[in-house]
Amino acid sequence: MNFDYRDETGFSMNNLKIRLPGIHNASNAGVAIRIAMEVKASENNFEYDIKMALSEFKGIDRRFEWKYETENNVLIEDYAHHPSELAAAIQAARDCYPKRKLTGIFQPHLYTRTRDFATDFAKVLDTLDEIILVELYPARENPIEGIGSETILNLMQNSAKHYILKADLVDQLTKLKTDVILILGAGDLDLLSSQIVKNLK
């Protein structure tokens, strides 16, 4: 992604490059630039240092992390577990692969969050071409009666939606026609990434 930086002091830097897609990542980079300016403003070549640091930053685990990419298959993992984070990750994928099919695999995280944001989750996930939900990751919470992944699934309008048990996910993925796969959520689906990659090769 290329972007320009401008702040309230009138300082600007143009044609900055960052490997991570999405407006949210450019915004995060802008905050990092502002902080770096405060720290390095008295040093020579601080603009060059900032540009180099941005261009070399490879991201962090589970934040739009490319796990596999070929001409025919892509697997990206993102920790997004709130509707706004999901929307940002999906939009970033659309920006990277505008003419390709996006299949999302989402594991809701927490009963309370699923209960409180079920409608918002459904609307965001409907923007995918195909969506797979697996059972909710409870983390520290006890179950809430009537709340689970099916709560979101039942609110969705997308006709290409599936509920698949996590234990069956890797096998079931081989039966679907996938292109760009997004693993989404703060649960433990990352533990299946290597198995999914093996099936994509």
The more confident residue out of 4 and 101 is: 101
| 150 three-state secondary structure | helix
pLDDT tens-place string over residues 144-164: 999 999 999 999 999 999 999
Q: Rounded to whole angstroms, how far apart are CA atoms 184 and 122?
A: 14
Tracing tokens 């059972």 back to the chain, one arrives at 135
Residue 40 has pLDDT above 70, yes or no: no
pLDDT at 106 over 90: yes
Which of 25, 56, 87 terminates a domain? The answer is: 56
* Nearest to 79, CA basis, from 118, 100, 107: 107
C-alpha to C-alpha distance for 36 and 5, rounded to whole angstroms: 13
For residues 51 and 70, membership in a common domain is answered with no
Tell me the CATH number at 185.
3.90.190.20
Q: How many domains does the chain have?
A: 2
pLDDT in the model for residue 30: 84
Q: Are residues 49 and 73 in the same domain?
A: no
Evaluate whether 17 touches 1 at the Cβ level (below 8 Å).
yes
Q: What pLDDT is attached to residue 43?
A: 66
* Main-chain dihedrals φ then ψ at residue 30, nearest 5 degrees: -60, -40
Task: Say if strands 130-133 and 180-184 run parallel, antiparallel, or are unpaired.
Answer: unpaired
Instruction: State residue 31's pLDDT score.
Output: 84
Bridge-partner residues for 109, per DSSP?
137
Which residue range is the domain that position 124 belongs to? 65-200
Residues in CB range of 145: below 8 A, 6 or more apart: none
pLDDT value at position 44?
67
Which token pair is 86? 């999901």
Residue 171 carries which side chain, given as an amino acid letter? D
The answer to whether 72 and 33 have CB atoms below 8 angstroms apart is no
174: pLDDT strictly greater than 70: yes
Same-domain pairing of 36 and 123: no
- Over 90: is that where the pLDDT of 133 sits? yes
Q: Cβ of 44: how many Cβ atoms within 10 Å?
A: 8
52 and 125 fall within a common domain: no
Mean pLDDT of 33-52: 74
* 79 and 171 fall within a common domain: yes
**Percent of all residues in the chain with a pLDDT value above 90, rounded to a whole number:** 62
Q: What is the pLDDT of residues 71-82, one digit of tens each?
A: 889 999 999 999
Q: Report residue 112 as tokens.
A: 């309370």
Structural tokens at position 146: 């009537």
